[in-house]
């Protein structure tokens, strides 16, 4: 079992702070004397479309109307109303946050009340960070490293513990878990935290959402992010859906203005137009379906590489030898892959790649092929 002592800065806690995220474009751009926007960043899993015009209009409107001179509305009432309408649930069961990441920290707080958290791994490193914030116990349970290409899949492990953290689709494997198998899991744990940050962008993903089950199960918390779907990592906007009693306590404890006025207004405008939302997601699903097949076809031609099938816009590759030289080669060309050394149970023979625009995917595949020819 992993548990950092409050003052244990030298060992586990240091390792955790070194766990990487993708998207480190600034350092790479500086090294190559490029603008960050010139980097092909396949290490962070974002969609390659410009943010929608609705968002730009919303931000301009907010600058004109209120500007920067007022504190944001701290009850977030209008935003909660819109999210509630969007999902067909009660506003009291919603808490918007400064990206899903802020809410992951608070989910860690909730988990710390129940006992041991199970983190099926390899997985997104932030759960570990959040649990460490509250000095909470956790174990990593190993997920099988190989899977078939049919989605949704049944959740494969039932680790012993009190709380389980689920990511749907799973990061970094891209596996989409079936709602039915997840409902069985909800019955077995004191608390289930399901991170659906990538679910809406995943073709057929929303059918597997656990949001409707939050009405039935008090021990279920579902996390959502607007980062991926609208390509707005810089705005910071997400929300949690779950028991009103639990999230009310989070609101009492957290800082009074976690969301800025611009993110609040953007959330309202982006989620209040269902027709626009449906068209927008349809375009993303089409892009994933087309580009995923194209990239797979190209990369599976590389003999020493196994390309793991994914339901979404990122996937894992596995090599017979270390991928570090290939990643370095690509970095020098301004292309970033997510190395997997920092994921539990993966190593330098693995890398995560996120899909890009058609043009950049062609370039990406060509340079990956070149990196193996050296």
Binding site for ligand PLP (CB under 6 A): 99-101, 124, 167, 171, 195, 197, 225, 227, 233, 238
Backbone angles phi, psi at 177, to 5 degrees: -90, 145
Contact 200, 238 (CB under 8 A): no
- Nearest approach, Cβ of residue 59 and ligand PLP (Å): 17
Question: Based on CB atoms, which residue is closest to ligand PLP, 67 or 234?
Answer: 234
- Write down the least CB distance from residue 197 to ligand PLP, Å: 3
Q: How far is the CB of 302 from ligand PLP (least distance, A)?
A: 26
Nearer to ligand PLP, 52 or 99 (CB): 99
Nearest residue to ligand PLP by CB is 99
C-beta closer to ligand PLP: residue 72 or 233: 233
Question: In this complex, which beta carbon is closest to ligand PLP, that of residue 197 or of residue 355?
Answer: 197
| Measured distance CA(239)–CA(252) in Å, rounded | 16
Nearest to 288 by CA among 231, 352, 357, 197: 357
* 171 versus 311: smaller Cβ distance to ligand PLP: 171
Q: How far is C-alpha 336 from the chain's CA centre?
A: 18
* 67-75: long-range pairs with CB below 8 Å, 24+: 70/261, 71/257, 72/257, 72/259, 72/260, 72/261, 72/264, 73/261, 73/264, 74/256, 74/257
**Tokens at residue 107, please?**
């989910």
Query: Minimum Å distance from CB 108 to ligand PLP?
Result: 13
**Which residue, 160, 162, 192, is CA-closest to 177?**
192
Closer residue to ligand PLP (CB): 240 or 295: 240
Task: Give the nearer residue to ligand PLP in terms of CB position, either 4 or 167.
Answer: 167
Work out how close the CB of 119 gets to ligand PLP at its nearest, in angstroms, rounded to a whole number.
12
Cβ 102 to ligand PLP, closest distance in Å?
A: 7
Closest CB 218 distance from ligand PLP, rounded Å: 23
Q: How far is the CB of 192 from ligand PLP (least distance, A)?
A: 15
Tell the smallest beta-carbon distance from residue 120 to ligand PLP (Å): 12
Q: Which is nearer to ligand PLP, 117 or 225 (CB)?
A: 225
- C-beta of 124 vs 177, nearer to ligand PLP: 124
Place of tokens 């989620």: 271
């Amino acid at each position: 079992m992993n548990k950092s002592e409050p003052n244990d800065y030298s060992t586990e806690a240091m390792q955790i702070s070194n766990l990487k995220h993708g998207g480190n474009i600034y350092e790479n751009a500086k090294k190559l004397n490029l603008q960050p926007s010139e980097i092909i960043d396949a290490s962070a899993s974002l969609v390659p479309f410009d943010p929608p015009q609705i968002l730009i209009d919303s931000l301009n409107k907010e600058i004109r109307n209120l500007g920067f001179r007022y504190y944001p509305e701290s009850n977030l009432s209008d935003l909660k109303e819109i999210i509630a309408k969007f999902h067909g649930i009660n506003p009291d069961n919603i808490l918007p946050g400064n990206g899903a990441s802020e809410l992951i920290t608070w989910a860690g707080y909730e988990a710390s009340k129940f006992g041991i958290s199970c983190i099926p791994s390899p997985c997104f490193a932030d759960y570990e960070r959040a649990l460490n914030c509250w000095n909470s116990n956790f174990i990593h349970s190993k997920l099988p490293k190989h899977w078939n290409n049919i989605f949704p899949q049944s959740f494969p492990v039932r680790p012993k513990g009190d709380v389980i953290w689920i990511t749907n689709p799973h990061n970094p494997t891209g596996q989409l878990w079936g709602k039915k198998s997840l409902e069985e899991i909800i019955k077995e744990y004191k608390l289930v935290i399901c991170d659906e940050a990538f679910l809406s962008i995943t073709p057929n993903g929303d059918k597997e959402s656990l949001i409707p089950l939050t009405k039935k199960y008090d021990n279920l918390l579902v996390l959502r992010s607007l980062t991926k779907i609208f390509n707005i990592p810089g705005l910071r906007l997400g929300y949690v859906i779950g028991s009103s009693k639990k999230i009310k306590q989070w609101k009492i404890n957290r800082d009074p203005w976690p969301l800025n006025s611009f993110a609040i207004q953007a959330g309202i405008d982006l989620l209040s137009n269902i027709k626009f939302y449906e068209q927008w997601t349809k375009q993303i699903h089409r892009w994933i379906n087309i580009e995923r097949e194209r990239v797979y076809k190209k990369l599976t031609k590389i003999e020493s590489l196994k390309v793991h099938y994914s339901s979404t816009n990122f996937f894992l590759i596995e090599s017979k030898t270390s991928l570090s030289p290939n990643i370095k080669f690509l970095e020098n060309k301004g292309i970033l892959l997510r190395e997997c050394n920092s994921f539990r149970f993966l190593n330098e023979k693995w890398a995560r790649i996120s899909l890009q625009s058609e043009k950049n995917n062609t370039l990406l595949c060509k340079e990956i092929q070149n990196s193996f020819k050296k």
